Structure formats: structure tokens, C-alpha cells
Amino acid sequence: MLRAAFEAAAAAAAPAPDPPPNINPVPPACHAPAAAGDVAIVLERAAAASVATLTPGGDVHNKFGRFLLDDLLGRPLGRRWLAAIRPGAAPPPSGGVGGVVRLLRMPRTVTATATATATAAGGATTAVVYVHDAALIGLKLELTPGAVIVEAGTGSGGLTVPLAAAVAPTGRVHTYDFHAGRSAAAAADFAALGVAPVVTVRGGVDVAAAGFVGVADGDADAVFLDLPDPGGVLPHAARALAPDGRLCCFSPCIEQVARTVGVLSAAPAVWHSVETLTCVVRVWDTYEAELQRLEETLDVADGDGDGDGDGDGDGDGDGDAPAAAAAAPVGDDEMGRRPTRRPPAPASDVPGGLASDKPTVLPEPGPVLCKLQANVKGHTSYLTFARRCSSE
């Protein structure tokens, strides 16, 4: 008893252990209530997302139903969003909601999530540089924080955001577009996405005639061209690039690639390492195969699972179906399905108390197989890369 009292006193005098560290802290901004004007990501499924600006009285329509923006205001995002039910309509039998999507908060800083949704945020109808192409462009242009890149052809800004993500926080993206209105719309989106501090937008500029206004010669580490005639802008790109700078030309057709490569190849003192690539997404399905034992194969041939081989289900081997089963298709159940292999009944359930002499066949786990999906998405563009020579 004295020992127990001593141990209790020692435990009370010992200092309390430090709490375990929070190894995965959640940023406080994720818990902040949503307010009017915030931008949210509507995640319908893994490969489908859209962007919604939270407006009082507004709504979002998709195949999952109608979603009221008022349901989000004043509440934290990062949760499920239930579709609204029309007044007077009976709730669906699934539990009272017409559909469910997920809501994510649009980051106010340069992140990969903003990259994936920047095109949806822009209202302009332009050619889209998809995520897999953008990843290859950033890799081949060797973009790192602090780099300077020139982009000709802003469009909706779908590529400008990942370029800014790669060079932030100390780099710079100079982006040009011939259409002044489209540049203004893209600039507003960049401000909403939080990338404006590293992006300089210049609209209404014909880079083929005026060059890259505001960029000093040799100041750019990389140049990206998404133009109808990239070959006509290559002299300006050569002047803007630093020695060993990288070039990428986005081309929708092989004819434009041929013209661009012809101009690059005609100036070996200026350009080298010319190559054209495409990026194809190949999706594989992974599943566990079901193996069929030899006994199961014989049962399927038998058709009734009684092992006599006649398929009538009475076990006598004469092949005559019982009268009660004559109306049903031989070997099929009431739904027209083939019977499955079942273990034999216990001895107490078998007439005469005798168990079946057929061995019990237990299911076995099959191997994990991978299969390429039948529909493979083709490439979205031709990407021609080259390097600026160190000296002419």
C-alpha cells in the first residue's frame, strides 16, 4: 500500500509531457468564413472542376443540380455542398438532396490549384494550354524562382498562371496580347488569383512589329510564343533572350511547326537543340482479376451445380428437368443469370444427413492487372523548343 501511495505521489510531481506537435497544421485561412466576392473551386469529380464567384442571390448549375451561393456565405469552405430542392418537389429517395459537390477555397497566392483553374476563371474564348502541356513547358524551359519569362499571346491567361507559379516570388512574367480587351480581362483574373505581383500585362501590342516592349535585350531567361506566325517573332525573341536562353513555340498544326523549324534551322548561329514534342495523356485502369477454378468451369458446363452433368438440377443424371423447373430456362435463374458456385450445404441440411462429397471451393484473390483505357486523349498542341546560342 505504501508503494502504491509513493508511485501516485511521484506521478503527480512529474511534469506533464509536452503535447505532440501538429505535423499537418491547417492554415487559418481555410477556416475563415466565406464572404461575398470570394472565389471558390467547385469540384464535381476528380477530373472536372469549375470556378464560382460568391455572389448573394446567385447560384451554380451543373448536372448534379442547382446550388445556391447563399448557402456558402458566412460559412467555411472545404466541405460538401448539397444541391437545392425546388419548392414543392418531393425529396429524392437517396436522402433528401439532388446532388453533392465539393467546395474548395480558391488560393489567394500562386499555387498549383490556381494553375488548374485559371482557364475556367477567364471569360475569353482562346486556345487552351492544358495542365500536362503546361507542365512540360515549365520543365523544358527550366523555370525556377527568380527567372524572367516573356509570353506572347496571353489569351485567357491559362498558361500565365503556371508560369507565374514557377518563377514566384522574385521572378517576372511579361505577357503580351494583341487584343487590349482580352488583356484587361486577364489582368483582372490575375489580380483575383493573387499572381498580379509577378505578372506584367501589356495589351494592344503587336509583338511582330514592335517586339517585346519593356524588356531589355538579353534580360529574359525564356520566351514562350503562342502566335499565328511564331517565325516572324523569332528575331525579337533572340534579342530578348540571354545567352543559353530557352524558347518554346506553341503550334496547333504541323504546317506551322514546319515553318517555325525552318526559320530556326536557317539560323544555326542563333539557335540550337531544336526539337518538337507532343504530350499524350494515357490513363490506365487498375483492377483485381477474378480467377476461375477448374471445378467452377465444370459447374458452368453442368449448369445446375449438382455435379451430375445433365443440367436438370435433380442429381439423377437423366437430363429430365423437374416439372416445377420446366418453365424456367435451363441453368438460369429468374433474372436470366447463370448460377454461381456455392459451397455444399452442411450435413444437417442435406436429406439423409449426408454431406456433399464435392470439395468446397473458396474464392481466391486474383492478380492485380492494369489495362490501358480504350479512349486515349490525343495531344493538344505541338511544342517546339530551342536554345539561344551563347554567342553569335
Q: What are phi and psi of 304, to 5 degrees?
A: -125, -10
pLDDT value, residue 376: 60
pLDDT value, residue 28: 47
Here the cell at position 380 is 493538344
pLDDT value, residue 4: 61
Q: Are 296 and 341 in contact (CB under 8 A)?
A: yes
Domain boundaries, the chain: 32-105, 112-281+379-388, 283-318+360-373
Q: Are 74 and 15 in contact (CB under 8 A)?
A: no
Q: What string of DSSP letters covers 262-280? A: HHHHT-TTTEEEEEEE---
Q: What string of DSSP letters covers 220-243? A: EEEEEE-SS-GGGGHHHHHHHEEE
Burial class (CB in 10 A: 0-12, 13-18, 19+), 271: buried
Q: Which residues are annotated as a binding site for S-adenosyl-L-methionine?
A: 156-159, 177, 206, 226
Burial class (CB in 10 A: 0-12, 13-18, 19+), 17: exposed
pTM: 0.59
Here the cell at position 173 is 512574367
CA-derived radius of gyration, the chain:
33
pLDDT value, residue 2: 55
Which amino acid belongs to residue 106?
Answer: M
The pLDDT profile of the chain, 392 residues, written as one tens digit per residue, is: 555 655 666 555 555 444 433 333 334 444 678 888 877 788 777 667 777 888 888 888 887 788 888 888 888 877 777 777 654 445 554 444 457 777 776 654 433 344 444 444 444 445 678 888 999 999 999 999 999 999 999 988 989 999 999 999 999 999 999 999 999 999 998 998 889 999 999 999 999 999 999 999 999 999 999 999 999 999 999 999 999 999 999 998 999 999 999 999 999 999 999 999 998 888 787 877 766 555 555 555 555 555 555 555 555 555 555 544 444 444 444 444 444 444 444 444 444 444 445 555 555 666 777 887 776 666 678 999 999 998 75
Q: Are 125 and 158 in contact (CB under 8 A)?
A: no
pLDDT value, residue 334: 46
**Separation CA 247–CA 386 (nearest Å):** 5
**Separation CA 326–CA 319 (nearest Å):** 12
| SS3 of residue 138 by DSSP | helix
CATH of domain 112-281+379-388: 3.40.50.150
**Separation CA 202–CA 138 (nearest Å):** 22
* Sheet hosting strand 48-53, strand order edge to edge: 48-53, 39-45, 100-105, 79-82
Here the cell at position 158 is 491559362
**Separation CA 61–CA 68 (nearest Å):** 9
Closest CA to 161 of 123, 124, 135, 125: 135
* Count of other CB atoms within 10 angstroms of residue 310: 18
In this structure, which topology does domain 32-105 adopt according to CATH? Vcp-like ATPase; Chain A, domain 2 (3.10.330)
Q: Are 362 and 274 in contact (CB under 8 A)?
A: no
* Count of other CB atoms within 10 angstroms of residue 178: 17
Helices 131-140 and 160-167, axial angle in degrees (round to 10): 40
Look at strands 284-288 and 271-277 and give their pairing.
Answer: unpaired
| SS3 of residue 162 by DSSP | helix
Handedness of CA 289, 295, 298, 299 (dihedral sign): negative
Q: Which residues contact 6 (CB under 8 A, 6 or more apart)?
A: none
Q: Which residues are annotated as a binding site?
A: 156-159, 177, 206, 226
Which amino acid belongs to residue 14?
Answer: A
DSSP, res 364? -
**Separation in Å, CA 311 to CA 217, 319, 362:** 86, 6, 22
